[in-house]
Each structure stands twice: as structure tokens, then as C-alpha cells.
Amino acid sequence: MHQDTIAAVATAVGEAGIAIVRVSGGDAYQIGDRLFSPVKGGTLQDTPGYRIRYGHIRDPESGKAVDEVLAAVMRAPRSFTGENVLEIHCHGGPKVTQRILELFLQSGARMAEAGEFTKRAFINGRLDLSQAEAVIDVVRSRTDSSLDVAVQQLEGSLRRRIDSFRERLLDLVVRVEASIDFPEEDIPDVELGEMQTIISSVRSEIQQLIDTADDGKILREGFKTVITGKPNVGKSSLLNRLLDEKRALVTEVPGTTRDVIEEVVNVRGIPMRVLDTAGIRSTTDVVERLGVERARDLWREADIIIHVLDASIPLTEEDWDILDATENHKRVIVVNKIDLPRSWPLEDLPLDSSTKLVEMSLLEGNLEPLLDTIVQLVHGGMRLRTEEALVTRTRHKQALAEAEDDLRQAQQTLDDGLPVDLIAVGLQGALEHLGEITGETVRDTVLERIFAQFCIGK
């Protein structure tokens, strides 16, 4: 598996003060020397690790300076990826940054795939599984609130919680195993009542952690939203309002189909991913263009549907088709153009528990009530728990659920009055599943502790 040299812009695209182009791989410094000329002379290949050189990036063909930069050298294995890493800190304009990246790509580096730096760091043993995943989240996180969760996870708040579960179960297992393996030593058997207490308390805390998974997922991935409605009701006004108010963060190119692109908007700290059909912007309607059937697929994918209606003209067949098709889906019905005379009463709308209603003028009205409504619908109005550990990964949730299930079985075994070697099966299983999250093994730890804790021997 030859690790070639990869490069990418490591900072967010935008008008930031400084941008970083990161290069990682065996040839990072050779390639760098083709482009970078240090003011004080010498080469990057001769620069020791953890040094920063000042100089210029030059276009090798024209010899012209592209930008004045700092070049940071971090040598393998003491770098983020565990490989030779070169970081070019440049002046941040998107064009300059892009040009520097292109020069690297022309000089022998390959464009990094999404998350590839982290993947290499993980493969080179620089990160444990949960750290690696959290780093990927940092890279991907789109809003401040998401960033909080990702950063905390990296620092190990999830890890601390899991360590606490492991610690309590380990202590129990160590005592159980010591009494099994050394029956002729005076090691007290673990009392069933105590076992009961520990198992059920750890179990309920694991369950609490699992319950944060939905919040975690929304914070990390955001929620998918589709804006729908017949032509000229104000869909594009809504999208433009959302985008205008500087909430738009990233424009991603390909969506689920070639007709759909995704706009990401920051709503109260949660990424709202608006599945934008080219249709909304060009005011040709998705339903019109794709038909209700195709639109239905899009609605199914969405976490939330925003259905825009025009209060000033009577409801038509088309409005009713959409209302029927989106029934029982989480939706916000925006009754637009209330500044104009109404042509139908609100009571006509079929309201159910998953539907919220907002009346406003999308052209100039206050957007805040609509945003509040959306957020409320997304997570039932609960305040998102950003200050504590959240399960943001499906894999973590899965492992926790399995650990919880093992503990449930251990508890059942205990209640059935079955012997301790069978209870131990569940306890060990739970420990192993928790270890899957942090990448730690159980067996040797148990033995170490038996000897540290008990005086055993002939």
C-alpha cells in the first residue's frame, strides 16, 4: 500500500485572514521545494521537524511569486497524519489559495479525498477510533454548535463517560473472576445485591447516553429540508431570505440526483440542509418538472417539508395534492402574502400533530417565528445538550446498545438465580462492546487487576 502525497486546502473556503494548504506523504518536501523559495535560502528537505520557514511560493514556469507564505515542516511520525507533513500558510484569498493548491497538484501531489488526512492519521495509529471519527466530524461540521460537539468528543467527554462505565464494570468483573480462578484463596464472593446495583446503574446511564444519539445525529448531520409548493407562491423568496441572511455556509454540488443541489443554512446553530431543486431558483417547480411521484421521493428523504401556500389566491387542486401527499410528515405550512387580502380561511387546512402553521410575508416579514417553528419541529423543542457527551456516531450507538443488551442479560441471569459464570458472560460482553468504542481490550486488564488487588498464591 504505497502512500502517495496528497494535498488539500485545510481551512474553510472564504475570506479568512489566513488559509492553509496541507500536504502529506513521503514526497511532501521534494514537491514543496519545487514551489517554495525560503528568504534565507536552503530547502524544505533539509529543514528539521517542527520548524517554520518564511518565503514565497513561486510558479515554477514563470518564476513569479504567487504569495508570501510561511511553510511549516512536521516530519513523520510526529505529525497529524504520522507522515511527512507540509503546511503552507498563505494570505487566504480564495483565488490565491486555489492557485497554490493547483501548483502542488501540478508538481506531483494528488488531491486528497474527503477525510483522507484523518484516515491516514488513523491508519498510522495516531488516533483511536473515536478520536478519528470526531476529527472527521470537525472537518465536516458546518455550524458552531456542531463544532462544539465534535471538539468535546475529541477531547474525550464521550470517552470519559465510557471510561466511567468500563471502570465500574471492570471492578466488578475483576472481583468475580478472582473468586472464580482462586476459589481456595480467601477472596470474598461478590454479593448478588451489590452486583445488581452496579449493573442496573451502569445500564441506565448507558441508556441515557444512547438517548442523546438523535440529538447528536441532528447536530452532526443536520436535517434535510425540502421547500415545496406550486409555482409563484414564494418558494424562491423563502430560499433567498434564508441565504441572504448570511446563514448559507457551503454549497455542495451533486445531491441525490443531478437535479437537486443542497444548500446548508445555519438555523439556531443546527445545520439545515435545504434540498434545492434547480427548479426553485429558476421558479420552475419541482412538481411541475418532475411530477408528484418524483417529488414524493424527495419528500420521503426529507426530515422536514416546508410547504408554501399563497393566502391571496384560492387553493387549487395542485395545493391539495401536495397537502395530501405530505400528510403525517413533519411539515411547516407557510401561509405567504398575508399583507394582501385573504382569499380563503385558515380553517380549510387539514392540521395534524406533525404540522405547524406560520403566517407571514416572505418578502418582508420577520423570519424569526418561522425559524423557531422549524427548530421546534426538529427536536420537539428540547434544548440541545451541547455541553455534555453526546453520541453522534451510529457505530457508537450500536456498540452502546449492544453493551446495554449484554447488561440486561446479565441482570436477567442474576434474577433467574443462575450461577456467576453465566452472569460473567454478560458482564464481559458489555465490557468488550464498550472497548470497541475506545479500541481497548479487556482480558489482560482483568488479569493485571486481579493481581494488583488480591493477594493470591500458594
Partner 1 sequence: MFPKNEHYNMIVVGAGHAGSEAALAGARMGARVLLLTTTLDAVALMPCNPSVGGPAKANLVREIDALGGEMAKNVDATLMQLRMLNTRKGPAVRALRAQSDRKLYQQRMKLTLESTDNLYVKEALVTDLLVQGSSVRGVKVADGSEIFGDTVVLATGTYLRAVIYIGDYRDSSGPQGLKPANALGENLGKYVATARFKTGTPPRVHLRSVDVSQLDIQPGNFFKGGFSFETASVESRQLPCWLAYTNEETHRIVAENLDKAAIFTGAISGTGPRYCPSIESKVAQFPDRRGHQVFLEPEGWNTYEGYLSGLSSSLPAPVQLRILQSMKGFEDCEMLRPGYAIEYDCIDPLALHPTLQVKGFQGLYCAGQVNGTSGYEEAAGQGLLAGANAIRELRGQEPVVLRRSQAYLGVLIDDLVTKGTNEPYRMMTSRAEHRLVLRLDNADRRLAHIGRELGLVSEQRYDRCAKKWSAIERLCSSLESQQVRPGRETNELLQRSGSAPLQRPASVADLLRRPELDFWSLAPLHGQYEVEQQTAEQVEVEIKYSGYIEKQQRAIDRMERMENRSLEDVDFADVRGLSREAQEKLQQVRPRSVGQASRIAGVSPADVNVLLVYLAQRSKRRSYSEQ
State which residue, 21 or 134, has the beta carbon closest to partner 1: 134
State which residue, 180 or 248, has the beta carbon closest to partner 1: 180
Residue 347 DSSP code:
G
Spatial separation of the C-alpha atoms in residues 213 and 198, rounded to whole Å: 23
State which residue, 300 or 395, has the beta carbon closest to partner 1: 395
Spatial separation of the C-alpha atoms in residues 80 and 139, rounded to whole Å: 14
State which residue, 97 or 130, has the beta carbon closest to partner 1: 130
Taking the complex as a whole, the smallest distance from the CB of residue 120 to partner 1 amounts, in Å, to: 8
Taking the complex as a whole, the smallest distance from the CB of residue 391 to partner 1 amounts, in Å, to: 19
Spatial separation of the C-alpha atoms in residues 327 and 198, rounded to whole Å: 46
Beta bridge partners of 223: 272
- Alpha carbons within 13 A on the beta-carbon side of 179: 14
State which residue, 201 or 441, has the beta carbon closest to partner 1: 441
Closest to 128 (Cα-Cα) out of 349, 457, 435 = 435
Spatial separation of the C-alpha atoms in residues 96 and 56, rounded to whole Å: 12
Taking the complex as a whole, the smallest distance from the CB of residue 442 to partner 1 amounts, in Å, to: 9
150 phi-psi bin (left φ>0, alpha ψ -120 to 50, beta other):
alpha
State which residue, 329 or 449, has the beta carbon closest to partner 1: 449
* 441 touches 435 (CB < 8 A): yes
* 157 touches 144 (CB < 8 A): no
Taking the complex as a whole, the smallest distance from the CB of residue 3 to partner 1 amounts, in Å, to: 6
Spatial separation of the C-alpha atoms in residues 348 and 351, rounded to whole Å: 9
Taking the complex as a whole, the smallest distance from the CB of residue 400 to partner 1 amounts, in Å, to: 18
Taking the complex as a whole, the smallest distance from the CB of residue 87 to partner 1 amounts, in Å, to: 22
- The residues that touch partner 1, with contacts defined as CB under 8 A, are 1-3, 77, 82, 120, 122-125, 127-129, 177, 179-186, 413, 416-422, 425, 428-429, 439, 443-444, 446-447, 450-451, 455-458
